[in-house]
């Protein structure tokens, strides 16, 4: 088994009200050194065999991200001994 | 400005129906080598000064993750020249 | 075509940090009369024929809600002339 | 205490890949009478006094919905005896 991670974030020019809400709530916690917060999705895909970045990209294209409003990045994290 | 990333995922023992839906939809796309899909949140926090992992952890504890059902991991990605 | 709506909310005893963040951000907007905010999912299912609440419940059970942490409610909104 | 509900959905012309994934997974469950699935957010705001639809609309505008990609609707559900 091998994991591929797909990170899906709103494009930078798209407003993220949920991230904004978190940022706006920070001063009440005494936290003032944060400029912005953006909330996206992290999708972990476990492959039965080898990590297949190309396949993961295809899945992201079709079922995980909306290309009009979101960007995504695909990566295969090195976690301990190679899978 | 320096970015800290907080990855929030449902604990492994908690069912993730949205990830399950994606996994169940894959065979129709001709994709059969995926064992599971889990969908969580990726939160990008931009600090005005240096990346502060301890602060990010505090924010995650209070405003980003529910410790009963979710785990989170905090990291400061190395992207190009050090921030 | 007929629509069925499935509302999925975290159970009342489960902390909702994203809703909490919104609630915590309100005083900065000058809003003080809100006791709590909870954020869930609203799923709109369009049936090709008649609205089928039983089917919608089955879909919710299997693909939309996690019964350990979430409750859901199924309804067929009356919107203008019957669909 | 009185509840106001804000339903936030992607605009109809914006693709919803998560809803699409649920729709694509249905045939494997033997369900074929669904034309589409759209997944949005349902936000429950509890007011300390009376339900204030105007306030809820303001909160939605600023912290819950992105007007470029999402529509929202505000309502005060009648649940049992008036709040």
Dihedral sign, Cα of residue C68, residue B74, residue D69, residue D71: positive
A20 to chain D, any CB pair closer than 8 A? The answer is yes
Q: Does residue C37 sit within a domain?
A: yes
Task: Tell me the H-state helices in C1-83.
Answer: 17-25, 53-59
* Domain annotation covers residue C67: yes
Chain B neighbors (3+ CB pairs < 8 Å): A, C, D
Cα–Cα distance for residue pair B24/D25, rounded to 1 Å? 5
Task: Say how many domains are in chain C.
Answer: 1
Instruction: Give the residue-averaged pLDDT of D39-68.
Output: 96
The pLDDT of residue A82: 46
Task: Judge whether B25 is closer than 8 Å to chain C, CB to CB.
Answer: no
Give exposure, D46-68, as e/b (b: 16+ Cβ within 10 Å). Answer: bbeeebbeebbbbbbebbbbbee
pLDDT at res. A28 = 87
Q: Is residue B11 part of a domain?
A: yes
User: Is the residue at A55 inside a domain?
Assistant: yes
* 8 Å CB contact of A21 and D65: no
Reported confidence tier of residue C83, pLDDT bands at 50, 70, 90:
very low
Q: What is the pTM of this model?
A: 0.88
Rg (alpha carbons) of chain A, rounded to whole number: 16
Q: Over chain B, what is the mean pLDDT?
A: 92
CATH assignment of the domain containing A33: 3.30.1280.10
Model ipTM value: 0.91
- Tallying the residues shown for chain D, one arrives at 83
Examine residue D16 and state whether it is found in any structural domain, yes or no.
Answer: yes
Range of the domain at D24: 2-75
Interface-testing mutation among C16, C19, C29, C45, with chain D (most D C-beta atoms within 10 A): C45
Please give the pLDDT value at position B79: 61
Classify residue C22: in a domain, yes or no.
yes
Residue B20 domain flag: yes
Question: Do A18 and C18 contact (CB within 8 A), yes or no?
Answer: yes
Residue A81: is its pLDDT beyond 80?
no
């Amino acid at each position: 088994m091998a994991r591929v991670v797909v990170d899906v974030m709103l494009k930078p020019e798209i407003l993220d009200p949920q991230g904004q809400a978190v940022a706006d709530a920070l001063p009440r916690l005494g936290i003032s050194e944060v400029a912005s917060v953006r909330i996206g999705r992290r999708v972990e895909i476990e492959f039965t065999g080898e990590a297949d970045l190309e396949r993961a990209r295809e899945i992201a294209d079709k079922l995980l991200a909306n290309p009009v409003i979101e960007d995504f990045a695909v990566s295969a994290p090195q976690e301990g001994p190679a899978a």
